[in-house]
Chains A and B, each alone.
Chain A
Amino acid sequence: MKKILLAITAFSLLASCGKDNKKNETTVTPESSKDQVVNVYTHRHYEPDQKIFKLFEDKTGIKVKVINASADELIQKMKMEGKQSPADVLITVDAGRLSRAKDEGLLQSIKSDVLEQSIPSYLQDVDNQWFGLTKRARIIAYSKDRVNPEDLTTYEDLVNPKWKGKILVRSSSNIYNQSLMASIIANDGEEAAKEWAKGMVANMARSPKGSDRDQVKAVVAGEGDLAIVNSYYIGKMLNSPDAEEVKTAQQIGLFFPNQDDRGTHINVSGAGVAKYAPNKENAIAFIEFLIGEEAQKIFTDSNYEYPVLESVIPVEDIKVWGEFKEDNLGLNKLGEHNKKAVLIFDEAGWK
């Protein structure tokens, strides 16, 4: 027994040492190796992304090496690595984090006509430091039995006392909520945003918990009437392997708020080239590939996001919701007001 344990341990140690040495060798001579690579730090943990990376590898021969973590952690990591950072591309799931990375001096301006021309201007950074890849809308899912959609108008109207005890929304630690609040600060001003947060807390059906999907389930379960959710989760629920989830998603109606004024709040998942990118050219080629038709189609077809490329038609499941007016607020603003948003949430007691 002892011998076996020893053997296993020795083997594993050897195995890991072996890996270690290999790693050292590759890091010793990154440039002399002929293999072209692009090192990607990404917050997108989606299966379809793997498919897109594979396609890119097949097409260009550039290997895609991925580090997956939350954008915050990736930004910290890049900051500490400084000039030695191996990162070429940073991908996040919200614009706020991208503009924070920009402020920290972690990204660089790049020149790419393809990117500048294909992506609508409000979905990219003014200094060309980052570019939106896909869009998501923060919309309202309502109970078809209990809510008349004509009663719904704007985010601001959700604080109306008629919705007391009816609103379901997740925790304020979630970036999508923080971005929504940041957009309200940018559009309505700080004081109004404070009032709004207080009104929302007063109207909540329960203390915030769970995920966006859980809010939708709670609407169908009757815990509340309205849920604030990210559009692509509804797409995912409708295509869930769990029949119950599909049924749940089919029972709710969707409403795109603020259609008569500024438009529905949207956010992007986006990418930027790292300041010290060792493989800058590959990084640009990589991002250009991501907003190419092929990749955009996979983003919407398998992940139910809205493509940023206008020539690509959204997948049927989300196309049926119809076109809608988007809030054209410059997405840099979301990063600017993010911290303020969090402070307001805390003061209002939005957990």
Chain B
Amino acid sequence: MKQVGNKDEAFSLKTRIKRLKRDSNKWSVFTLAIVFFLALPIVFIGVELFAGPGESWSHIVDYLLPDYIGNSFFLVFFCSILVLVFGVSAAWFVSRYEFPFRKQMEWLLILPLAIPSYIVGYAYAGIFDYGGSMDLLFREVGLTFIRIDIMNRAGLAFVLSISLFPYVYVSARAFFLNQANNLLEASKMLGVSEVKTFFRLMLPLARPAIVAGLVLVLMEVLNDYGAAKYYGVNTFTTGIFRSWFSLEEPQTAVYLSALLILIIFVLILIEKWQVRKMKFTSSKSNSKQIQRKPTKGIMKGFIFSVVFLPILLGFVLPVVQLIYWAVLTAATVFDMEFIMISVQSFAIAIASAVITVFFALILIYFSKWSTLSAIKNISRVGVLGYAIPGAVIAIGIMIPTLALDKWLINVLGNFGIDSGLIINGTLIALLYAYAVRFLAVAYNPIDSTALKVDNSIPDSSKVLGVGNLKTFFKIEFPLIKTGVFSAVILVFIDVMKELPLTLILKPYHIDTLAVKAFEYASDEMVMEASIPSLFIIFTAMIPVIFLNKLLIKK
């Protein structure tokens, strides 16, 4: 019996390899190559794991780990709830109903993303602080302000949610705008009420899109350093910094990173599992855009308020606070240099957004064209970079690229050329790092729109003898354009805000607005940080408005 079993196993292993050979094509190879390229830094961090944790690992497990886990789960749980409430409700109302200022709100809802979370954190602390804006306002009208203590983990959950909900909003809205019309008409014909239609039909169908946004939010929540540190909440990420820098044990930090990646991996698996048996392709690719319903009376006021609330909390309030600080500090801080830095930041962000989206498209489509089913899952490894703190990625990038640089120096040195570092300290390393870090931001919106393109369309094209690439450019790309442009904008905004990576990898002669803002904020000059922060927001607004025009024009 036993022997037979073994034979079977051997047999199956053999067939597996055979099948693998049969099913893999050039696309599988390409996909693997790209995944390897993007996952390289993560691999190097992984290799460090084999060295074992530092000597303080047990100290961390004893005294700190419970706190890290507790706080991280607290944040994941409450941020999920808040982000879903804000993001999905806004997306639905904006897509489904007509109400005053709807058009403006449509893009205003994306803007909270433009403010770095830690700046939102500082702004809220400033609003509720002793001698802060609320305090002054109440004093002005002769009342005493009952101070709300926002600097705790509940406050942190609020701050992170209000600055990150647009990820969910963007992906949910893209779904509602383009896919919902036929279904809504059918539902209306069957006499189903609005509320029921939303909860029973739209919400379940939008799930992949919403969850894709939510995963991004949660990765960003777990990755937050600035706000958590300021609010005194210990999370995995603050722990990574603590063990790496304060305890001087990079290995221990890598262990914590690995645990964090594991949590993210579980989140991704949960997402995969919850959509496991469902197919989300629309039957008609030429589905019309959703028809908006006019609103009246109380309904109008209600919808307006629900949509405006996240804008007020996530954008208006923090920006007003920042403007107030900017006015106070303008004389000392403002400098024409800011215009130059803005242009630099803009160029870098656009370039890396395009590169990152390019990689995401390659990964999604190459793995689709590859006939090997496992490739699809492997390609997902590429998105893990988003879960890893920027500073850790920077190190992961530096290990292989420095080795390459040093090798090049040796080789070129033989020819008498002193090349110096070619990759490190130049834009190449920086753009590579951004691509690794933000692949997930580009991958998810594109993937969820690509999922909805009915396979029969490209398939019939291929049956007619048109190649993969041509089919893609002629047929699939126009269909997923919305997703692609959303991805470009999201990566753009993320790069504008990015900090730890940029600090470590940026070339000497280049400054970004985020670096400028950080220089002030890190030295408790929060007020002075307001001007570069406002520049980030306004620079980021340009493509956001642009994107929205594109979406509406469709």
B82 at interface by CB-CB < 8 Å: no
B63 at interface by CB-CB < 8 Å: yes
Chain A 1-40 against B: per-residue CB contact (8 Å), 1 yes, 0 no? 1000100110111011001100110011111000000010
A47-B332, A47-B333, A210-B232 given; A28·B348 CB < 8 A? no
* Cα–Cα distance between A171 and B546 once the two chains are bound (Å): 43
* Cα–Cα distance between A351 and B246 once the two chains are bound (Å): 13
A270 at interface by CB-CB < 8 Å: no
A247 at interface by CB-CB < 8 Å: yes
Question: Which B residue sits closest to A19, measured CB to CB?
Answer: B427
Quick check: B508 and A39 within 8 Å, CB to CB? Answer: yes
Quick check: A221 and B351 within 8 Å, CB to CB? Answer: no
Quick check: B230 and A209 within 8 Å, CB to CB? Answer: yes
A45-B519, A211-B524 given; A16·B347 CB < 8 A? yes
Count of chain B residues with a beta carbon within 8 Å of a chain A beta carbon: 87
Quick check: A209 and B503 within 8 Å, CB to CB? Answer: no
Residues of B within 8 A of A73 (CB): 391, 394, 500, 503-504
User: Measured between C-beta atoms, what is the minimum distance from B237 to chain A in Å?
Assistant: 12
A13-B351, A171-B232, A210-B232 given; A66·B151 CB < 8 A? no
Interface-centre pick from A47, A76, A209, A248 (highest chain B CB count, 10 A): A209
Quick check: A67 and B506 within 8 Å, CB to CB? Answer: yes
Contacting B425 at CB < 8 Å: which of A9, A86, A221, A339? A86
Quick check: B354 and A9 within 8 Å, CB to CB? Answer: yes
**Secondary structure call for the A interface:** helix
Residues of B within 8 A of A29 (CB): 418
B21 at interface by CB-CB < 8 Å: no
Quick check: A69 and B503 within 8 Å, CB to CB? Answer: yes
A1-B550, A16-B351 given; A77·B329 CB < 8 A? no
* Cα–Cα distance between A31 and B419 once the two chains are bound (Å): 11
Quick check: A27 and B425 within 8 Å, CB to CB? Answer: yes
Quick check: A28 and B418 within 8 Å, CB to CB? Answer: yes
Quick check: B550 and A84 within 8 Å, CB to CB? Answer: no
B523 at interface by CB-CB < 8 Å: yes
* Cα–Cα distance between A242 and B59 once the two chains are bound (Å): 43
* Cα–Cα distance between A212 and B522 once the two chains are bound (Å): 12
Contacting B229 at CB < 8 Å: which of A66, A171, A214, A245? A171
A112 at interface by CB-CB < 8 Å: no
Residues of A within 8 A of B135 (CB): 244
Which B residues between 406 and 457 are near A, CB-CB below 8 angstroms?
406, 409, 417-422, 424-428, 431
Chain B 3-40 against A: per-residue CB contact (8 Å), 1 yes, 0 no? 00000000000000000000000000000000000000
User: Measured between C-beta atoms, what is the minimum distance from A197 to chain B in Å?
Assistant: 12
Question: Chain A: interface residue count, which band?
Answer: 35 or more
* Cα–Cα distance between A248 and B136 once the two chains are bound (Å): 13
Question: Which B residue sits closest to A104, measured CB to CB?
Answer: B248
Question: Which A residue sits closest to B524, measured CB to CB?
Answer: A211
The count of A-to-B residue pairs whose CB atoms sit within 8 angstroms is 189
Contacting A84 at CB < 8 Å: which of B332, B417, B421? B421
B147 at interface by CB-CB < 8 Å: yes
Contacting A45 at CB < 8 Å: which of B238, B247, B520, B546? B520
User: Measured between C-beta atoms, what is the minimum distance from B551 to chain A in Å?
Assistant: 11
Quick check: A207 and B503 within 8 Å, CB to CB? Answer: no
B85 at interface by CB-CB < 8 Å: no
Quick check: A66 and B426 within 8 Å, CB to CB? Answer: no
Question: Which B residue sits closest to A248, measured CB to CB?
Answer: B131
A45-B522, A69-B504, A221-B130 given; A100·B248 CB < 8 A? yes
Contacting A66 at CB < 8 Å: which of B59, B417, B508? B508
Which B residues between 148 and 166 are near A, CB-CB below 8 angstroms?
151-152
A29-B418, A343-B56 given; A12·B425 CB < 8 A? no
User: Measured between C-beta atoms, what is the minimum distance from B547 to chain A in Å?
Assistant: 9
Residues of B within 8 A of A19 (CB): 427, 507, 509-510
Task: List the interface of chain A (C-beta within 8 A of B).
Answer: 1, 5, 8-9, 11-13, 15-16, 19-20, 23-24, 27-31, 39, 45-47, 65-70, 72-73, 76-77, 80-82, 84, 86, 100, 171, 173, 178, 207-214, 217-218, 220-221, 233, 236, 240-242, 244-245, 247-248, 338-339, 342-343, 346-347, 349, 351
11 A-B residue contacts at CB 8 Å? A1-B550, A11-B347, A47-B528, A81-B402, A84-B402, A84-B420, A173-B241, A209-B231, A339-B248, A346-B60, A351-B234
